[in-house]
Structure 1
Amino acid sequence: MTRPLLHRVLPRTLLARNIALLIALVMLSQVCSLAVLLHYVQRPRVERAAAVFATYVTTLDNLLQTTPPAARNALTARLDARGEVPGNADAQPPPSLLRAYRTYQRKVFLTSLRKHLPADMEARWQTEGGQRLWIRMHAPAVVPGADAPGTGGLATPYWIALPIPEDAQGNGLDAAIILSLGLAALAALTGYAIQLHLNRPLRELTRAASRLSAGETPAPLPTDGPVEIAAVSSAFNQMTHALQQAEATRALMLAGISHDIRTPLTKLRLSMAMAMPENSDSSFVVAAESYLDQIETILQQFMDYAGSGEREPAEPGDLNALIERLAGDFAGLGHEFELSLARLPVVAYRPVSMLRLLMNLMQNAIVYGGSGLAVRSWATDDAVYLAVGDRGKGLSAQELEQLKAPFQRGRNARAHSGGTGLGLAIVERIARLHGGRVEFHARDGGGLEVWVVLPREGS
């Protein structure tokens, strides 16, 4: 349960995963650094500022109590003394998610200040209309505007506004946080650049592997990068060289097999023809030659499957022209194919291999279908389609997929001898060599249609 969920959450590419991990680590380090800064640096600093401010307030309160009334009244008037605290002054600073660090420091300051002040000296924080700290001072003082018979004021505890120390406002952290975020962004960009540098040889390796799987010979990969990447590139180069040697050995072996088997077959045909006297029964010769033809057909199918045209270069051409030529050849042998060919874009293909692919499909339609022979073509925005159909007995989807594997023959092929089960395997291999695929579809009205889907240029 946890692993599938993790696979769905994590990005699919290694680059995105590394960048996400780097950003997460940078953010975690920034959060930890900020927590350490607030708790072990700023908090003691704010608490010291609160203690000093409390000493200042207590001294001012004592001084006002001992000051002569006339001078005290003038001084409290200059301090904007009030009988009631303003409505926008709060006992605790209002919380703010965007300024959480300032809220934290103000809360620490007020808590520490109340510890150092007498219990009856309250403190309120005003945020609107300027940052001020209201302190409830002791009597006596005459607050103008209050009702007091014969005095024009009220001798009662009063509130005065004092400026807030810089250490309690947290203004000094703005630059530090901005600098920290800038360094975090720089670290993320640096990690992104490093990851791109590491991904470049991986992309080159991917392209080289794709070319190798398509039958091409990629250029050797550079081995001057980091040690780990250089080791992978070197191993890939060695593998490519080993595959080239194996391919050369296979080609030599196939040529030898073809020569060594076909030579005695030819001699056997000649010996049989020379050994039979004139006017003798030739049924044995006909049967023997039929078996020899089957042996050569099987041998050719093995050669075709082993070769598959990897070394043949692709050339741009008209697939419809190739289909029309093959259909004309089969028509000369008495097998008419109904053609429905749409206008196709120019596609790069291997001529001999594509000829072999279409020939195998059309021969299969003749042998196993017999009637309703048809070839059609069409194109979409991203692919070119070639379809060869017949009206033979249909097969299940599972049987059709199994026919793509070598040496597999459908149940409708059991009555036909001389095959090896490599026909559709050759078709599948050639289609994949061109970056395409083979699909099986039931025809409307009965029968089977084999689609060869080839990618368009640039798709």
Structure 2
Amino acid sequence: MTVALKRLGLPRTLLARNIVLLIVLVMLSQVCSLTVLLHYVQRPRVERTAAVFANYVTTLDSLFEAAPDNARDALVARLNHGAQPPAADELEPTPSLRHFYVTYQREVFLDALRQHLPADMPVRWQTLGGQRLWIRIHAHDMPYWIALPIPEDARGAGLDAAILLSLGLAAAAALTGYLIQRHLNRPLQNLAHAARRVSSGETPPPLPTDGPTEIAEVSSAFNQMTQALQQAEATRAVMLAGISHDIRTPLTKLRLAMAMAITDNGHDSFVVAAEAYLDQIETILQQFMDYAGSGERETAQAGDLNALISRLAADFAGLGHEFELSLGAVPVFAFRPITMMRLLMNLMQNAVVYGRVGLAVRTWVHSGTAYVAVGDRGEGLAAHELEALKAPFQRGRNARAQAGGTGLGLAIVERIARLHGGSLQFHARDGGGLEVWVVLPLVAPRSASQSGR
């Protein structure tokens, strides 16, 4: 159904579709009304007028026959006597689409008039130089062309005003429908705006529920959903805090006990291994915490993405990992600074761990979109493997030998990118290796696609 509507070229918005439908219905009603008016009201009226006029012409013809010569000549002169009617271009007016009803009534009148007059009394309708009917009558076997005024009913008098009034009412109906539809669309627009705010991690005020019943029910359901999401968010925050506290507390105690268990002669191998396992547990726990809360509550602020990348590259350089920077002219735009730093740190850390060499970060802008590419010269992966890494708990074959990972790193990056209205892409790097692209719109899109996975 949607494909068929697109092929017809119909607008996609509900407001525009309803307005188009309303205009089409009004036009159809106007066409039907005009058809009924012309065929069932005006046509019988014009035909009756033609019959009366034909009787008048027949009587006039009889009067000419019976009149004395002097009286007949005076009467003929008074009735615009002429040997022939005017030229054909003055008698046959050009049909006008704008005044088609006038042409229609004229043809109806002439057809009816010719049916009531003798065959040897032709009729001509003059339009140029004045509206007149030319009729050839007989007077002692000598034909005369006389001009008679056209009846008002045959001219379509009064129809102009009726049609203009009808068109005015149609325009008023279309305007009224447009205003009503706008009134109905406003709550839907408010609902869409509130949904976008919810998807971006904000808490919109409750929607009004004093409108039409159907809209009020939708708004009420949305308010209930928002409250349920707020409660779920609060519960998740409490749960995350509890997990962080309840797990990290025994881990800290275990570290302390192990430190006290180290002998004076040196580090016990079991204690060293256990500390390594504890580090892995804490890393995994932190990744779960990061994935569970990917920055929805953080407020977006105008910031310099290149400056953030430069600071992180300096930090990695202090740890012995040099990133080659190729930073383009990226304007200041709004993003969540802490969340964006987490995204970049995850990508750069992955490059350090799995790529090891050829570390690089580059940025550029194209068509109102900022691009960040983090690359390395590590072992490349197939396209389906790269896309699968976006899902939680998925790890590439080059990462399975690494300890301490959960497969959430790129899932966190994907979620943060979508939170900013962007996306995550994988590309083979020229000369070997892999590049991970983060695509970020410089202006946050007004769509529900900003929500996380």
Q: TM-score, normalised by structure 1?
A: 0.91
CA distance in structure 2 between the partners assigned to 1:115 and 1:203 by the alignment: 64
Query: What is the CA-CA distance between 1:11 and the residue it aligns to?
Result: 1.0
Partner residue in 1 for 2:23:
23
Change (3 A) 1:23 1:220: same
CA distance in structure 1 between the partners assigned to 2:110 and 2:163 by the alignment: 23
Query: What is the CA-CA distance between 1:71 and the residue it aligns to?
Result: 1.4
- Once the two structures are superposed, residues 224-272 of structure 1 have per-residue CA deviations (whole angstroms, 9 ceiling, x without a partner) of 2222222211111111111000000011111112222222223333334
Deviates more, 1:170-179 or 1:410-419: 410-419
- Counterpart AA for 1:368: Y
State whether residues 82 and 160 of structure 1, in contact with CA within 8 Å, keep that contact through their aligned partners in structure 2.
yes
CA distance in structure 1 between the partners assigned to 2:386 and 2:243 by the alignment: 32
The number of residues matched between the two structures is: 444
State whether residues 124 and 135 of structure 1, in contact with CA within 8 Å, keep that contact through their aligned partners in structure 2.
yes
Of 353, 363, 368, 1:382 maps to 368
1:7 and 2:12 aligned? no
CA distance in structure 1 between the partners assigned to 2:394 and 2:186 by the alignment: 42
CA distance in structure 2 between the partners assigned to 1:130 and 1:88 by the alignment: 15
CA distance in structure 2 between the partners assigned to 1:129 and 1:408 by the alignment: 91
State whether residues 212 and 218 of structure 1, in contact with CA within 8 Å, keep that contact through their aligned partners in structure 2.
yes
Helix, strand or coil for the counterpart of 1:297? Answer: helix
Query: What is the CA-CA distance between 1:437 and the residue it aligns to?
Result: 2.0
Query: What is the CA-CA distance between 1:381 and the residue it aligns to?
Result: 5.7
Of 342, 346, 352, 1:360 maps to 346
Deviates more, 1:72-81 or 1:60-69: 72-81
Query: What is the CA-CA distance between 1:114 and the residue it aligns to?
Result: 1.7
Partner residue in 2 for 1:63:
63
CA distance in structure 2 between the partners assigned to 1:399 and 1:186 by the alignment: 61
Query: What is the CA-CA distance between 1:281 and the residue it aligns to?
Result: 7.2
Partner residue in 2 for 1:84:
84
1:399 and 2:399 aligned? no
- Once the two structures are superposed, residues 67-120 of structure 1 have per-residue CA deviations (whole angstroms, 9 ceiling, x without a partner) of 001211222122233343433279976533222111111111112112222232
Deviates more, 1:200-209 or 1:69-78: 69-78
Partner residue in 2 for 1:149:
none
CA distance in structure 1 between the partners assigned to 2:286 and 2:422 by the alignment: 24
- Counterpart AA for 1:132: R
Which runs of 5 or more structure 2 residues have no equivalent in the other structure? 446-453
State whether residues 393 and 407 of structure 2, in contact with CA within 8 Å, keep that contact through their aligned partners in structure 1.
yes
CA distance in structure 1 between the partners assigned to 2:444 and 2:338 by the alignment: 23
CA distance in structure 2 between the partners assigned to 1:239 and 1:189 by the alignment: 36
Partner residue in 2 for 1:301:
287
State whether residues 89 and 127 of structure 1, in contact with CA within 8 Å, keep that contact through their aligned partners in structure 2.
no
Deviates more, 1:116-125 or 1:160-169: 116-125
CA distance in structure 1 between the partners assigned to 2:335 and 2:392 by the alignment: 23
Partner residue in 2 for 1:438:
424
Partner residue in 2 for 1:144:
none
1:174 and 2:160 aligned? yes
Partner residue in 1 for 2:47:
47
Which runs of 5 or more structure 1 residues have no equivalent in the other structure? 141-154
- The percent identity for this pair of structures is 75
Helix, strand or coil for the counterpart of 1:237? Answer: helix
CA distance in structure 2 between the partners assigned to 1:234 and 1:107 by the alignment: 63
Partner residue in 2 for 1:162:
148
Moved over 4 A (4+): 89-94, 275-278
Change (3 A) 1:330 1:104: same
CA distance in structure 2 between the partners assigned to 1:268 and 1:124 by the alignment: 116
State whether residues 88 and 127 of structure 1, in contact with CA within 8 Å, keep that contact through their aligned partners in structure 2.
no
State whether residues 438 and 451 of structure 1, in contact with CA within 8 Å, keep that contact through their aligned partners in structure 2.
yes
Q: TM-score, normalised by structure 2?
A: 0.92
CA RMSD of aligned residues (A): 2.1
Change (3 A) 1:349 1:89: closer
State whether residues 90 and 128 of structure 2, in contact with CA within 8 Å, keep that contact through their aligned partners in structure 1.
no
Partner residue in 2 for 1:200:
186
CA distance in structure 1 between the partners assigned to 2:90 and 2:119 by the alignment: 17
